[in-house]
Amino acid sequence: MEGDDTEGIPMGEFNVINPATEEVVEAVPMASAAEVDAAVDRAKRAFQTWRALSPGDRARLLRAFAQQIDDHRDELAELEVINAGHPVGQAQWEASNLRDVLLYYAGAPERLNGRQIPVPGGLDVTFHEPLGVVGVIVPWNYPMPIMGWGMAPALAAGNTVIVKPSELTPLTARRVGELALEAGLPEGVLQMLPGTGPVAGRRLVDHEDVRKIVFTGSTRVGKEIMAACAPSVKRLTLELGGKSSNIVFADADLEKAAASAPYAVFENAGQDCCARSRILVQRQAYDRFLELLEPAVLGVRVGDPHDEKTEIGPLISAAHRKKVTSYVPPGPNGTGATIAFQASAPEGSGYWFPPTVLLSTPALRGQGQACPAWDEEIFGPVVTVAPFDDEADAIRLANDTAYGLSGSIWTRDLGRALRLSRAVEAGNLSVNSHSSVRYWTPFGGFKQSGLGRELGPDALTAFTETKNVFISTD
């Protein structure tokens, strides 16, 4: 399936661009449909060997794989800096997250227990059987972590995996595939297949021997994949778009809430499905919060990804910068909002964009004035601030979206925090913080933000089928 910025890319080679310099890093070959078919055939043959390994042996190989990632952490981080424009500190965290997720699921093969269920006339037991070949389609915004979230539990459960990284960011995936072989994973168990969405991605989705697709990306493309998987009832995990709210009540620690708010939306240059791109502030605290928010935003450091002090790097591409720009007045999608303040960003080469705060008035939207920045996922360092009156109003505004991925609630009232946590339609909420993703806990969305759950204990069984066996004792 096509991606958001890569429609029309031909087969052959794709020029990977450093988004901080606009220089070509490397021309990477794109897989053809025939090469996808060959990869699926290798994975199908390797599946029988991989699933037959004892749980302890599979666990040892995953731990060895994690060690290889750790040994090459700086190398992988540098690839992410030049390929995705991520600040070096963030890139090092991403490599560490891939290592940690592999280690977490390395403990799973020996603990993938079935059940013994009491029944009359015999013994009833269940088994978790691996699915077979799994296709993991990875986006460009967090190439290493999101790759790990799909491949690690799939491998642990006994499946073989084909990863299709985004054509914009294939370099870390390619190196991780090499490290997997160096760690001792058998040929065909884990394959990296750089390719375009319309060719390689589509063929993975359509191939009858691919038993599950894991896709992270836009809701539009997720819907296309879901429709393509329907004829064969192919299993799916989808992590899609978001339009999450950061809800700040008047009784909250306003200083802490305002100081942390920029990092809830601007991290990774806002290219994050979990970005809290709506800030809702109770009306009596609205002016004070904006006073506190302005210096916090202006203090965000945007610049050279190799500088350890840099907090935010560039956007991924010229096309994506054009899209983000359209949401800021006087852009064509910038109607219904005004600019409150903007931080600074480098000029010259690179796809830079300044962290931007917009103001939106719910009353005007209620009168029919459109505000695309309020309604649509921008996927850039742009946040819209709006006031609310009470709990009911906050819930209404937070749920006024087709998405439901994440969000934050700031209040000192524990009862209110629990009420809002139950009422806000989102899969991942945080009270008095902005955490969304911990690999120990399930992650996924409500509504059009996705289908299924990744990470934590929930993910493992999503890569298996439950088989029930009754043994008569009569």
Active site residues: 239, 273
Structure tokens at 296: 């916090």
- Render 273-339 in DSSP notation, one character per residue: TT---EEEEEGGGHHHHHHHHHHHHHT--B--TTSTT--B---S-HHHHHHHHTTSTTSTT-TT-EE
- Going across the sheet that includes 278-282, the strands are 338-342, 356-359, 382-388, 278-282, 245-248, 406-410, 428-431
Q: CA-CA distance, 304 to 350, in Å (whole number)? A: 10
Cβ(190)–Cβ(163) below 8 Å: yes
The Cα 161–Cα 210 span in angstroms is: 9
Q: How far apart are CA 82 and CA 128, in angstroms?
A: 41
With residue 366 as reference, give the H or E element that holds it.
helix 362-366
The answer to whether 112 and 130 have CB atoms below 8 angstroms apart is no
**Bridge pairing between strands 190-192 and 160-164:** parallel
CB 252 within 8 A of CB 284: no
